[in-house]
Amino acid sequence: MYVRNIKQVKQNLRARYRQFRERLEPEHKVSLDSAIQSRLLALNEYAGADTLFTYVSKPIEVDTYALIQAALANHKKVAVPRCLPETFDMEFYYITSLDDLEKGCFGVMEPVPEKCRLVPRGKKGLCIVPGLSFDAQGFRLGYGKGYYDRFLADFKGTTVGICYSGCVQWNLPHGYYDQSVDILITEKYVRRMANQHR
């Protein structure tokens, strides 16, 4: 999708989808989150992954707390990110419970480095990718800081975007280096991308 002022378009889209999420009734959000989680846990890729890379959700995001608990109960390794603001990079750490988290960058819960083991670079697994919006090709609209874009450029596992269907649009503006996810899950469907590239 070619757009002249991509930055402004992305800002407008972020505002629109943030508002959509903020207006969700709490009970409705819980049912949407639960449907998305059920679809994710039913994936063959989830069953076959020994490590689940996942963000720790903020209130307007698809909930991942239940997902983390489920993965730990399934005896999977769970890795969550810690942001490095000076470089806009992320490091993932293994956690063994939610007690391994503390409030970090942007108010997001992050692993406590002293309590957790650093995940070596190049480790494969299933990576749950956040986004305010995704499109039908699996491209995402993030928060504009680029943390996940940098991480996904080198990630060799399978990537899964989780998103409400009301935040999915046919085509999002994206740049040459943007990475599409391999699988997109909403409360209504699982979409596998034709260009699954890993």
pTM of the model: 0.93
For residue range 25-56, list pLDDT tens digits in order: 999 999 999 999 999 999 999 999 999 999 99
Q: Which fold has domain 6-192?
A: Rossmann fold (3.40.50)
Q: Which residues contact 4 (CB under 8 A, 6 or more apart)?
A: none
- Read off the pLDDT of each residue in 140-168 and give the average, rounded to a whole number: 92
SS3 116: coil
Whether 1 shows a pLDDT value over 60: the answer reads: no
What residues does each domain of the chain span? 6-192
Residue 4 DSSP class: S
